Amino acid sequence: MYAAIALSLIMVPSEALGPGDHTRSLSVDGRDRSYVVHVPRTYDRRKPTPVVLAFHGGGTHAETMVAFSGLNRKSDQAGFIVVYPNGTGRLPRVLTFHGGNCCGYAMTHNVDDVNFTRKLLDDLALVCRVDSKRVYATGMSNGAIMAYRLASELSDRIAAIAPVAGTMGTETCRPKRPVSVIHFHGTDDEHVPIGGGKGVGPSGTEFHSVEHSIRAWVESNGCQNRPTVATIADTEGDGTSALRTTYGQGRDGSEVVLVEIRGMGHTWPGQPTRLRTLGKSTANVSANDLMWEFFEKHPMP
């Protein structure tokens, strides 16, 4: 009896998080790091729960990503935990992640954000009941570049990724297992151009093209070279439309999908943007809906 009580105390930590918003801090590689957690209203700590890591864009921070992506609302609808990591920087609200060839402070100081993510997941598992087979990553711009790096270098922890408006920050990818990818990108993105090269932002990064990123993962996952293509029409009348290109039948059921939004800028599909410099968003595609549908199809084997 006493052994059973002791075991139950070990399994339910005193810091266990309940529904709502929380901020966690930890030390990684001698740096103070932090992340914001949104636990959905329907969370049941007795059941393993999926997690979506949402990495902010360069020069912003976790709270910006909460508003920019609208993922808290989807979290409450679908029942997953959403986690917003904070990058590093000289200023507390101007932060970046080291995704390879980008960006800013994190890159120039060679910050190990892969290890940070590993330690973050370890810390999260102490306070939430995490389904380790259903941990996913998404991100905006620099955050999308980070998601690609995690798929390559932390594939033992990341089941699938959904980069938005950001490409691979490395020449190649070397995951230990196939990792499915759904990538969202606007044809009018001037900050991370769909064809690669330097954007209008201050980073000075020579970005890889979207095609480079997609082809790398099609080859790595062993997907078919001939895709299926579907059109997403402009039903909302906002001047945008999309092509959904799917490379399927990869190893372990993996696939690679590109959702190319015509007329969209450096924005989050389905979310309005208040910054004109980022260009137009779209109401015809919801990145949150499509990525969660995709994630549900691709848990870790």
pLDDT tens digits, residue range 20-41?
A: 999 999 999 999 999 999 999 9
Mean pLDDT of 178-195: 98
Work out whether the CA dihedral 276, 96, 20, 115 comes out positive or negative.
positive
User: E strands along the chain, which residues?
Assistant: 20-28, 31-39, 49-55, 81-85, 88-91, 94-96, 130-140, 160-164, 180-186, 228-232, 241-247, 256-262
Residue 81 tokens read as 């935990």
Contact between 279 and 188 (Cβ < 8 Å)? yes
Which of 100-114, 143-157, 190-204, 253-267 comes out lowest in average pLDDT?
190-204
Residue of 104, 103, 93, 119 whose CA lies nearest to 31? 119
Q: Does the global pTM surpass 0.85?
A: yes
Q: What is the pLDDT of residue 203?
A: 79
Q: What is the pLDDT of residue 274?
A: 83
pLDDT mean across residues, the chain: 94
Task: Say which amino acid occupies 202.
Answer: P
Q: How far apart are the first and last CA of the chain?
A: 36
The CATH code for residues 17-297 is 3.40.50.1820
